[in-house]
Structure 1
Amino acid sequence: MSSPNLQDIADQLGISKMTVSRALRGEPHVQPALRTRILETAATLGYRPDPEISKLMTHMRQKRRSQAPRTLAFIWAEKEPSDLGFSSWSQQLILGAQQRAEQLGFQLDEFHLAAKGMTGRRLSGILEARGIPGFILSPLISRSRGHVSMRWEKFSSVVIGLGYARPALHRVHHHHYLGMMTAMRHLKKLGYKRIGYYGGSVINERMFSAWSASFLAHHPLPLKQAEALLCLRREPSRQDFEQWLAKVKPDAVIEGGHSLPEWLEGIPLPEQPGIVTLGWRADRPQVAGIDQQADVLGAAAVDLLVAQEQQNERGLPKYPKIVMTEGTWRPGETVRNQREH
């Protein structure tokens, strides 16, 4: 009988062989709970690494690190360098991408399309002159569909987010539908029923209505009642939110941005609805919600880009891939167990 291998562990847990390999190597982008399950399964199956293969892989990794790292690009599509310091999500995204690039033996340099005088064509020339074979393009925030005129045929490329519509490229994005489903599941578990969703229509369009569709699909109330609790605005405002709140009287509100907690400050605490954000922030841990784990998203973008670079794949892909990463629920003071009140 042959000794168990990585594939045996992966098959036992229903995960990828690569995830098993990363967990056994102690890499940081594996959830602690999953890493524990992998280690326990490996021990149960009696897995033992082949010392010769381990020695060879260690030598190859050390050799790659000792060489001058190849450079890849991370292009901020809309943000100026001064704007990035105000976004914890952006900081987390680039940090995760840079750390993963370093682990794989690459250097990730940042570029800005919004810089004065910069265009997609000019930036393409800069990347080509520096011998940079591929880039990651950050999300287009201000509109649901857009276009960047890079010289795509010269590079490997990955786009973060779903809003970028043309040309069709490999993409990595947070699993927004699952994020809303997770938020709804936790609110229902806490006893909330009249759950509302107030947010911007542009961001919902950018993700192909994933949030609104998941909200209606997983609402505890019948569809017609759930539809009455869904409010999407082209330009959300405090006044509009207060009018909507007084009209529909939700016992909890899910939001996609970060404005609602401030808008609720004038309402007495016992009368405030529960608040859940779909974009949890580490600098506001009191607000419960979905941590999109932007660092994991950035790392996944690097994985997809490096795979193309190593296969010498350039230009527009014939079959574009979409890779989704999961978020995680973060409890907070803005929701409470309704059954205890």
Structure 2
Amino acid sequence: MSRPNLQTIADQLGISKMTVSRALRGERHVEDTLRTRILETAAALGYRPDPEISKLMTHMRQKRRTHAPRTLAFVWAERKVSEISLSPWSQQLIQGARQRADQLGFQLDEFYLSAKGMTGRRLSDILEARGIPGFILSPLISRSRGHVSMRWEKFSSVVIGLGYARPALHRVHHHHYLGMMTAMRQLKKLGYKRIGYYGGSIVNERMFGAWSASFLAHHPLPLKQAAELLGLRRELTREDFHRWLARARPDAIIRNGQNAGDWLEEINIPQDLGLVTLDWQMESPDITGVDQQAEVLGAAAVDLLVAQEQQNERGIPAHPKIVMTAGEWQPGKTVRNVREV
């Protein structure tokens, strides 16, 4: 028995082969009731697309895009234009995403949910009217336990970062557990033992405790002693930091972002303490740390989104994927080899 193809489905339903093809590709030109009949018939006949033909069609579509690139969206969930321009991490993120989109034959346009009068529903209407089939949603911070009300069924989508936001979608994020593990191993190699971590508990919760878990798992001291060097706080203040510093007596501190950054100015770094940041920035090359490589993260988000677009996957996925990208260790001047002292 020959393998069922598009013509087989078309003959079964008494419609054109082109209509079947459009329906299976998820194009909007096919009426919903007819699309359902086509999908049901394809399933009943055991239709499976030929992977070689699919690859050829993908190649042909990409060649067409070099002349007229399709547009994808990068949606900033919370940050405003002024905030993004001041954030090197955000600039690297969007630059990496834009470059990867261009390589794949797509144009990437930015949108802002924080714009005046903008809502998820309104933005959905705008994207649909412009024929934009999918979007990347930037990290959710204040709404990490909330819900963004986009018309998910209309689009392919990818969320950057973790958190408890709903619905559960495909995500990409930096491998924070690996980042902390890298920092701990580098400090141990230099001879540091009383390694402390002082940072915000909210951001740690948003990544499902990856930093704290990795810190405790890879600490050179026994678990009970290591836990005393873990300084997670709901609110970070200079006074609390110095109290923690006096009580914990670390020989090295790991931090994220600017947490405790300005509060270390009175301390002799690296002679009194070693200092490592979990989100190294090229604007501060002297600080030792882990470069999260936001541009790689942005590119990975585009890869995941384009894969959905090419396979005509829309809506909330039945089995959400999580793609993680690794950081890169950046040596600096804020640690030293204490074994030689």
Pair member with larger Rg: 2
Aligned to 1:140: 140
Aligned to 1:313: 313
1 CA distance for matches of 2:275 and 2:170?
A: 34
Aligned to 1:292: 292
* Post-superposition CA distance 1:227-260 (Å, at most 9, x none): 0000100111111111100111100011122242
Between 1:134-143 and 1:224-233, the stretch displaced more is 134-143
CA 160–308 in structure 1, closer or farther in 2 if over 3 Å, else same: same
Is residue 277 of structure 1 aligned with residue 261 of structure 2? no
Secondary structure at 2:158's aligned position in 1?
Answer: strand
The root-mean-square deviation of aligned C-alpha atoms, in Å, is 1.7
1 CA distance for matches of 2:254 and 2:304?
A: 32
Offset, 1:142: 2.5
**Equivalent position amino acid for 1:255 in 2:** R
Secondary structure at 2:329's aligned position in 1?
Answer: strand
2 CA distance for matches of 1:332 and 1:112?
A: 36
Is residue 331 of structure 1 aligned with residue 331 of structure 2? yes
CA 125–259 in structure 1, closer or farther in 2 if over 3 Å, else same: same
Q: Which runs of 5 or more structure 1 residues have no equivalent in the other structure?
A: 1-55
**Equivalent position amino acid for 1:97 in 2:** A
Identity of aligned residues (%): 77
Offset, 1:276: 0.6
Secondary structure at 1:91's aligned position in 2?
Answer: helix
2 CA distance for matches of 1:208 and 1:323?
A: 15
CA 258–270 in structure 1, closer or farther in 2 if over 3 Å, else same: closer
1 CA distance for matches of 2:121 and 2:329?
A: 41
1 CA distance for matches of 2:288 and 2:299?
A: 25
Offset, 1:163: 1.4
TM-score of the pair, normalised by structure 2: 0.81
Secondary structure at 2:261's aligned position in 1?
Answer: helix
Offset, 1:339: 1.2
The question of whether the paired residues in 1 share the 8 Å contact of 2:62 and 2:105 is answered with: no
Offset, 1:61: 8.8
2 CA distance for matches of 1:191 and 1:332?
A: 16
Secondary structure at 1:227's aligned position in 2?
Answer: helix
Kindly tell me the number of residue pairs found equivalent between the two proteins.
285
Is residue 88 of structure 1 aligned with residue 79 of structure 2? no
2 CA distance for matches of 1:220 and 1:140?
A: 34
Secondary structure at 2:108's aligned position in 1?
Answer: strand
The question of whether the paired residues in 2 share the 8 Å contact of 1:84 and 1:91 is answered with: yes
2 CA distance for matches of 1:269 and 1:252?
A: 9
CA 248–68 in structure 1, closer or farther in 2 if over 3 Å, else same: same
Offset, 1:266: 1.4
2 CA distance for matches of 1:269 and 1:74?
A: 40
Is residue 193 of structure 1 aligned with residue 226 of structure 2? no
2 CA distance for matches of 1:316 and 1:120?
A: 15
2 CA distance for matches of 1:269 and 1:72?
A: 45
Between 1:78-87 and 1:159-168, the stretch displaced more is 159-168
1 CA distance for matches of 2:269 and 2:166?
A: 46
The question of whether the paired residues in 2 share the 8 Å contact of 1:143 and 1:206 is answered with: no
**Equivalent position amino acid for 2:319 in 1:** Y
**Equivalent position amino acid for 2:339 in 1:** R
Deviation >4 Å, runs of 4+ = 59-62
Aligned to 2:97: 97
The question of whether the paired residues in 1 share the 8 Å contact of 2:270 and 2:335 is answered with: no
Is residue 63 of structure 1 aligned with residue 66 of structure 2? no
2 CA distance for matches of 1:190 and 1:313?
A: 48
Q: How does 1:1-341 map to 2 (within 5 A)?
A: 63-269=63-269, 272-341=272-341
**Equivalent position amino acid for 1:111 in 2:** F
Secondary structure at 2:333's aligned position in 1?
Answer: coil
* Post-superposition CA distance 1:167-196 (Å, at most 9, x none): 010000000000000000000001000000
2 CA distance for matches of 1:148 and 1:189?
A: 44
Offset, 1:65: 4.8
